[in-house]
Amino acid sequence: MRQDQKRQTAECLETMLLEGLNSGNPTEMTPDDWEDIRQAVQERIAKHKGSNQN
């Protein structure tokens, strides 16, 4: 069962990597892009912590 999970995870990762490679020309990350990512991560952490307190 674990082998099947590992295989499925590897297939999913490979699919996502190929989608990324085929998504078009790369663009440079700006400081605003990084700030948006930081904010999204902080929101997810806060949401996760809030759901664990129930």
**What is this structure's pTM?**
0.49
3-state SS of the chain?
A: CHHHHHHHHHHHHHHHHHHHHCCCCCCCCCHHHHHHHHHHHHHHHHHHHHHHCC
Domain count, the chain: 1
- Domain hosting residue 30, numbered range: 2-52
For 31-41, write each residue's pLDDT tens digit.
Answer: 999 999 999 99
For 14-51, write each residue's pLDDT tens digit.
Answer: 999 999 999 999 899 999 999 999 999 999 999 988 88
